[in-house]
A and B are shown apart, each in its own frame.
Chain A
Amino acid sequence: DAGVIQSPRHEVTEMGQEVTLRCKPISGHDYLFWYRQTMMRGLELLIYFNNNVPIDDSGMPEDRFSAKMPNASFSTLKIQPSEPRDSAVYFCASSPQDRGFEKLFFGSGTQLSVL
């Protein structure tokens, strides 16, 4: 089992540019989560999907952020345009959620730096 795969591991971009983060969940997992981690705000849930359908996007900071899950094996988180305050580690996680509360399997994260 390859685990949750995120790419890229590191992304450095300039303010105003579009950034796309990618995630491949563990096969068979029904839930996919996007988290953002910063020193100031800790781990924030941005959005999560169940069977490719967005369930709760109340954590998405603003309209510059969008997330898609076109199929069970792929999701993207896009920031357009990016700003320096978006600099953070972005984690993708997946879960089988058989009971509604299963442990999360995290990817290695994407370290985003917006200059």
Chain B
Amino acid sequence: AQKITQTQPGMFVQEKEAVTLDCTYDTSDPSYGLFWYKQPSSGEMIFLIYQGSYDQQNATEGRYSLNFQKARKSANLVISASQLGDSAMYFCAMAVAGKSTFGDGTTLTVKP
């Protein structure tokens, strides 16, 4: 069975600073995808970034980067230069054979 663990229920960061949101995963399947989604207070789910299990380089999307450490089974999200609009819930997810499993989420609050 697949499992995603996010150990930080809440995080605070000062505006313009970088923040790392932790995610560990567990699967026995060698082929999988790792994702991060953002859910602002309005409720919609927004895709941020993707990392494939066979990708050699860490994924980057603008201010978002994914620190992929395969041996440790971790896929941490790094947000650089935090903005007030980054305050939201962040979900780590893993997809295996068509099925996506989500972590419990981390609430990020950006302080001005």
Contacts and interface: CB of A to CB of B under 8 A. Distances in A.
Interface of A: 31, 33, 35, 42-43, 45, 48, 50, 55-56, 89, 91, 93, 97, 99-106, 108-109, 111
A42 B5 CA distance: 12
B44 A48 contact: no
B91 to A, nearest CB: 7
B52 interface: yes
A84 B97 CA distance: 34
B42 to A, nearest CB: 9
Nearest to A109: B43
A11 to B, nearest CB: 15
Given A42-B103, A103-B33, A104-B45, 7 more contacts: A42-B102, A42-B105, A45-B101, A50-B98, A99-B33, A103-B35, A104-B47
Interface of B: 31-33, 35, 37, 43-45, 47, 50, 52, 91, 93, 95-105
Nearest to A105: B47
B30 to A, nearest CB: 12
Contacts of A101: 31-33, 52, 95-98, 100
B99 A56 contact: yes
A31 B98 contact: yes
A104 B100 contact: yes
Given A102-B33, A103-B47, A45 B100 contact: yes
A100 B31 contact: yes
